[in-house]
Chain A
Amino acid sequence: MSTPAPRKQIHLGAHFPGVNNTTVWSDPRSGSQIDFASFEHLARRAEAARFDFFFLAEGLRLREHKGQLHDLDVVGRPDTLPVLAALAAVTDRLGLAGTINTTFNEPWELARQFATLDILSGGRAAWNLVTSSDAFTGANFRRGGFLPYEQRYERAAELVQVVRALWDSWDDDAVVAHARTGQFVRPGSIREVRHDGAHFQVRGEFTTPRGPQGHPVLFQAGDSADGRDFATATADVVFSAHSTFEAGQAFFADVKGRLAAHRRTPDQLLILPATTVVLGATAQEAAERSHHIRLQQVPGPTAIAFLEQVWGRDLTDHDPEGPLPRIDPDVENLDITRGRVRHVKDPRTIAAAWREQADANGWSIRQLVIEVTSRGGFVGTPTQVADAIDRHVQEDASDGFILVPHLTPTGLDDVFDQVVPLLQERGSFRTEYTGPTLRHHLGLARPAPRATRSHADRALVG
């Protein structure tokens, strides 16, 4: 055998549990999703394990089901950016990533918020950019559902262009603070930004200095074709959905292969799927634990509510432990659940396929929902899980993972304690941080200051 190549380094993020049914609140160990102590616990543990970043999601309208607020899952969360700013006070190196929707924000404000977070954290800010266009969410905002669906990435792209121009409008060394001469900023080091585009007209001198990272790291999470195009042109990290090893390799090859068209290299865009880990002393124990968690995630009423999304009807008279409804979906009522991603297939086709599956396997409604909503993830002994994570990265199915725990806030403690040391022993994961910023951790270059890339900028603003 020839000399092994140096091992690819794994990148890991710790996702704070979200507000869908994968977060188990009924477990006695489940803590508050609001108290700062919960955020601090996950962030401090992630930093002690030398994770790349902490990740916090966002939603801008409480979900509704059958015309009422959905009450079966965790409801309520704090505002993303203030939580990340507070975490900057209790961590030193951990990246701080958060989801912010472009549709209901303006570039001037977003640019100063992320520049501020980057400065306050010493270069650890990251923005997971998402878009939406629904009037349901828009009802909480001044402009309502103003944005046509097909324009959401167009607006996002223009917004990022303006935001980056604002970040670049201060030179890195603008602040000199020469007390004797009275020069606080070097003359000419702050340039007025003028942008006149289809979605934004922005003009003025920006308020906030360029942050330590130049540009905070940009994540992109949408899985549509538009989202993928946007990511390959613009993002630093793709936050994808985890699938099988083979599908991961295909996605990895596809996305990395598109980068050349944008004059980018494969190491300039990291692919980090979200995934879960369930550990046990033996493979069987882990499998049993995983099944127990799935049962906790899908209690009877949740199974019925899930089916109602597809059927478009009230199914509360059905027994979740009994067979699937014989009645067909009401195709006129697909908006029964609002505030989450809709199914795109014809519900009648889905219903028929599920009935067939359930009949063939003798599954109840609840068993079926557990099966069809399972997203895989890593289940096994710490060694098996470390092997699998490492294999995904070494064999180009991903650059690492964003780990989503099912319990707040202690759900990743076992991974930190039992899996991370094994990855470190293999030489695939850092034992110490080697630099101060999130860009350092992710191996991403700091964007050059404006002076050295004025040509590229013009092309961008063009």
Chain B
Amino acid sequence: MARPTSPRPLHLGVDLSDAGAHPAAWRTHGSQAQRLFDAERLQQLVDTAQRGTLDLVVIDDSFSLQPTRTTTLRGRLDAALVAARLAPRSRGIGLVPTVATTHTEPFHVSKAIATIDHVSGGRAGWQLGWSADDDDARDTAHFGRRPAVSEAAAVAEAEEAVRAVAALWDSWEDDAEIRDEATHRFVDRSKLHYVEHDGVHFAVKGPSITPRPPQGRPPVVVRVRSDESFGLAARHADVVRISATTRDEALDLRLRLRAAAVAAGREPGDLRVLADAFAVTGPDEASARARLDLLTELDGVRWDTDSLTHVGTARKLTDTFLDWWEIGAVDGFVVRPSSLHTDLDALVDGVVPMLRTARAFREHYAGPTLRDQLGLARPANRFAAIA
């Protein structure tokens, strides 16, 4: 049944971490677990996501090795470098690595994300990472530089980092490079700016060594998992990832986020709220159930998720997506395939065509940049003189 084209298209991302969201995904047939760290495996996954004109892929990261009690899979690559590796041979799709703010230098983070944006022609995003003092974050010992901090303190530092990084992105005006042979000047230095960030956690002088990224400021992605991260998202996120098990819960969160954004002086339409959607798909419900049963058996414990979890056909997943989206509970979803090798194909070849038929999802990429896919305007430079 065709619906009228929505002025507010649905957005879809996919989480490419590990072999899939289920801890036992690597043990299933076809997982290519031997090639888990092989760039070409990741490239193939991006090719698939791009075939489905998905908005973005997310690559998670942490400074800590996976704890043995949550999964048998162990090992990670630096997500920012993975995103850069995937950039030259992809088009249209956003590349969103998690990059931490707790133990890193805002100056380095700024130029890393800016460079992913340059090498991808404007397709970088930045999912904020931070490490608070809990059992899974042993980063403090890895760096040895300072004591562990609470969630509130880690988020406060992340917020300061976002502000410093965004200022560094703006520290070059778009037309700073002039190559003026008459005066022998390569840049117009009145268009390069010291950011003079002097905050609670750090000071950064600037300007960046890297010119302003193609998107101006690559979209910032924040996962809401606490009151503190809710506030951070409302104030700074372009894309907010929420966890919600029901449509009403998502609706409530989205409305509260938009209200909080307005309270922070932002346009509510500048936020894209995407719910995490765990997916176990099959040609019929019984086979999807059987897949989950196998995964559960391999892992030995019931799969514990904290957001919308779909076990069934692509048709039913499509219906759920449309149901949540049409009433404005979300702007879209970040799909977390239980097994990447199975559920990503089901998303791209099953769900996406049905969403297109429903006129809820794009047939082609809207433009070259991630901001184009998200329908977010390129931001003005805070330092640029107002004409």
* A-B interaction: yes
**A interface residue numbers (CB < 8 A to B):** 25-26, 34-36, 39-40, 59-62, 68-69, 71-79, 81-83, 85-86, 88-90, 104-106, 108-109, 112-113, 116-117, 119-121, 139-142, 144, 170, 174-175, 177, 179-180, 182-185, 190, 200-209, 299-302
A76 touches B210 (CB 8 A): yes
Given the complex, which residues of A lie within 8 Å of B83, measured CB to CB?
82
| Total A-B pairs, Cβ < 8 A | 213
- A302 and B150 CA atoms in complex are apart in Å by 52
Q: Let me know if B64 is at the binding interface, CB within 8 A.
A: yes
Cβ-neighbour of B39 out of A26, A88, A204 (below 8 A)? A88
B136 vs chain A, min Cβ distance (A): 12
B202 vs chain A, min Cβ distance (A): 5
- A177 and B205 CA atoms in complex are apart in Å by 47
B184 touches A79 (CB 8 A): no
A60 touches B78 (CB 8 A): no
Given the complex, which residues of B lie within 8 Å of A177, measured CB to CB?
26, 33-34, 36
* Residue in A82, A108, A201 whose Cβ sees the most chain B Cβ within 10 Å: A82
A211 vs chain B, min Cβ distance (A): 10
- A69 and B103 CA atoms in complex are apart in Å by 29
- A179 and B107 CA atoms in complex are apart in Å by 42
B78 touches A208 (CB 8 A): yes
**B interface residue numbers (CB < 8 A to A):** 24, 26-29, 31, 33-34, 36-37, 39, 43, 62-65, 72-78, 80-89, 103-105, 107-108, 111-112, 114-116, 118-119, 121, 138, 141-145, 172, 177, 179, 181, 183-189, 192, 201-207, 209-211, 298
Given the complex, which residues of B lie within 8 Å of A88, measured CB to CB?
39, 85
Cβ-neighbour of B118 out of A34, A62, A104, A300 (below 8 A)? A34
A69 vs chain B, min Cβ distance (A): 4
Given contacts A62-B207, A71-B185, A106-B145, contact A86 B78 (CB under 8 A): no
Cβ-neighbour of A26 out of B76, B116, B181 (below 8 A)? B181
B186 touches A75 (CB 8 A): yes
Given contacts A184-B73, A208-B77, contact A140 B205 (CB under 8 A): yes
Given the complex, which residues of A lie within 8 Å of B145, measured CB to CB?
106
Quick one: closest A residue to B35, CB to CB? A177
B106 vs chain A, min Cβ distance (A): 8
B211 touches A76 (CB 8 A): yes
Given the complex, which residues of B lie within 8 Å of A59, measured CB to CB?
209
A25 touches B33 (CB 8 A): no
Given the complex, which residues of A lie within 8 Å of B205, measured CB to CB?
61, 139-140
A78 touches B143 (CB 8 A): no
A116 touches B82 (CB 8 A): yes
Given the complex, which residues of B lie within 8 Å of A104, measured CB to CB?
105, 107-108
Cβ-neighbour of A78 out of B80, B114, B172, B204 (below 8 A)? B114
A60 touches B26 (CB 8 A): no
Q: What are 13 A-B residue pairs whose CB atoms fall within 8 Å in the complex? A: A25-B179, A71-B186, A78-B111, A106-B143, A109-B104, A113-B78, A142-B105, A142-B202, A184-B72, A202-B144, A204-B142, A208-B77, A209-B75
A190 touches B74 (CB 8 A): yes
Given the complex, which residues of B lie within 8 Å of A190, measured CB to CB?
65, 74
B210 touches A207 (CB 8 A): no
Cβ-neighbour of B111 out of A68, A79, A184 (below 8 A)? A79
Cβ-neighbour of B82 out of A74, A120, A301 (below 8 A)? A120
Q: What 8 pairs between A and B have smallest CB-CB spacing?
A: A201-B144, A82-B84, A139-B205, A85-B84, A177-B33, A79-B115, A116-B78, A78-B115
* Residue in A76, A300, A302 whose Cβ sees the most chain B Cβ within 10 Å: A76
Quick one: closest B residue to A201, CB to CB? B144
Given the complex, which residues of A lie within 8 Å of B210, measured CB to CB?
34, 76-79
- A200 and B103 CA atoms in complex are apart in Å by 14
Cβ-neighbour of B143 out of A25, A182, A202, A205 (below 8 A)? A202
Cβ-neighbour of B186 out of A73, A77, A183 (below 8 A)? A73
Quick one: closest B residue to A138, CB to CB? B205
Cβ-neighbour of A86 out of B36, B119, B177, B206 (below 8 A)? B119
B111 touches A89 (CB 8 A): no
Given contacts A120-B85, A140-B107, contact A207 B75 (CB under 8 A): yes
A86 touches B85 (CB 8 A): yes
Given the complex, which residues of B lie within 8 Å of A300, measured CB to CB?
184
B204 touches A140 (CB 8 A): yes
Given the complex, which residues of B lie within 8 Å of A108, measured CB to CB?
63, 103, 142-143
B298 vs chain A, min Cβ distance (A): 7
A207 touches B33 (CB 8 A): no
Given contacts A78-B114, A79-B114, A120-B39, contact A69 B187 (CB under 8 A): yes
A72 touches B184 (CB 8 A): yes
A175 touches B187 (CB 8 A): no
B64 touches A71 (CB 8 A): no
Given contacts A83-B119, A175-B34, A182-B72, contact A62 B81 (CB under 8 A): no
* Residue in A85, A175, A204, A300 whose Cβ sees the most chain B Cβ within 10 Å: A85
- A302 and B185 CA atoms in complex are apart in Å by 10
Quick one: closest B residue to A104, CB to CB? B105
B72 touches A207 (CB 8 A): no
Cβ-neighbour of B88 out of A89, A117, A185 (below 8 A)? A89
- A25 and B64 CA atoms in complex are apart in Å by 44
User: Given A34-B210, A85-B81, A86-B119, 19 other A-B contacts at CB below 8 A?
Assistant: A25-B179, A68-B189, A76-B210, A82-B116, A89-B43, A89-B85, A108-B63, A108-B142, A112-B77, A139-B204, A174-B75, A175-B75, A179-B28, A182-B27, A183-B72, A184-B26, A203-B144, A208-B78, A301-B183
A72 touches B185 (CB 8 A): yes
B74 touches A184 (CB 8 A): yes
- A301 and B182 CA atoms in complex are apart in Å by 11
- A83 and B181 CA atoms in complex are apart in Å by 29
Given contacts A78-B118, A106-B143, contact A302 B184 (CB under 8 A): yes
B12 vs chain A, min Cβ distance (A): 24
- A375 and B85 CA atoms in complex are apart in Å by 36
